[in-house]
Amino acid sequence: MPPTPQRLWRSRIKNGLQTLLIMTGLVLVLSIPGYLFAGPFGVVVCFTTVLLVAYFSSWVPARWILANSGAGLLHRHQAPALYRLLDTLYQRAGLQMHPRLYYAPSAELNAFAVGDQRDGGIAVTEGLLRTLSLRELAGVLAHETSHLCHGDTRVMSIAAAMTRLTVWATTVVQVSLLLMLPMIVTGELAFPWLTLLLVALAPTLSTLLQLALSRNREYTADLEAVAITRDPHGLASALQVLERHQGQWLATLFGQQPPAWIDWLRTHPPTAERIRRLLALTPPDRATSPLDGLNADGQPTLHQRPPPLGPRYWILRR
């Protein structure tokens, strides 16, 4: 049972407000080192740099990122079942572009979206294809399709740019404080306790806000994925599999129960909470996927593994 349109709209509005608040926080944190270094002019320089990075990053084609990650482009004849699945997901999500699916020869269980509605694609790893069923993969691909629809990768790239710029700006301020150390020792200048505290906290605050933004958009992508597939159990099952394979390192480091503070350092929300929200959307006795023609227990089949695209792919392709 997919979420109702009212719930989807409430989720989108809540997500938009949270994104606005977090981005505002990132802007305020970025203004701290800029102001400390050059006053109001430093703030203007920092914000101008972020706007330029955001503008030029929107022109970076998704295929450039994928070509330099070692991924290969899967053609329809190489993965017909996956492309039929993507056709259905894109149609339900309202995406007008043709699906592009990329393959990464990695044993990790991972899938990621790059780009947006104009020029985007989804990459899946060999480990993911070998581990998940088609039904589970449908949930994962729907989740990434949601990221494409709502431009999440662009939003996160802007947030990452602000965090990097905050780190660079605070480094400049710290170097300036070191150069002023002889005058502080001789008593010509008072020790800048407040300045030192601000430049020490700014990078950490910016990183935590960026991680919170990522977790917020992941929750919304889960809900949108269920609206596309109409099958909460498919994505919930996939998350359980991913947690079994990728959550083991936390248990190795901290024991069976990782500390609560570790959730602040995650790019994704806690898997248990995501699964709980998904299972609350449908009765527990639902056993089949409503995606037309999908074999719930089948495995995705690749008739041929594509070679890496190579660095010239993004230039030659039109």
Question: Within 10 Å of residue 13's Cβ, how many Cβ atoms?
Answer: 10
Following DSSP, what letter does each residue of 152-221 receive, concatenated? HHHHHHHHHHHHHHHHHHHHHHHHHHHHTHHHHHTTSS---HHHHHHHHHHHHHHHHHHHHHHHHHHHHH
Residue 166 near residue 112, CB atoms below 8 Å: no
Check 144, 188, 224, 273 and give the catalytic one.
144
Active site residue 144: yes
> Which stretches does DSSP call E strand in the chain?
72-74, 101-104, 111-115, 120-125
Residue 133 near residue 288, CB atoms below 8 Å: no
**Letter string b/e over residues 124-145, b meaning 16 or more CB atoms within 10 A of that residue's CB:** bbbbbbebbbbbbbbbbbbbbb
What are the angstrom distances between the C-alpha of 275 and each of 83, 223, 238? 26, 11, 10
Phi-psi region of 52 (alpha: psi -120 to 50; beta: other; left: phi over 0): alpha
* Cα–Cα distance measured from residue 318 to residue 209, given in angstroms and rounded to the nearest whole number: 37
Q: What six digits make up the tokens of 109?
A: 């269980």
Q: Interior CA angle at 303 toward 81 and 128, to 5°?
A: 65
Q: Catalytic site residues?
A: 144
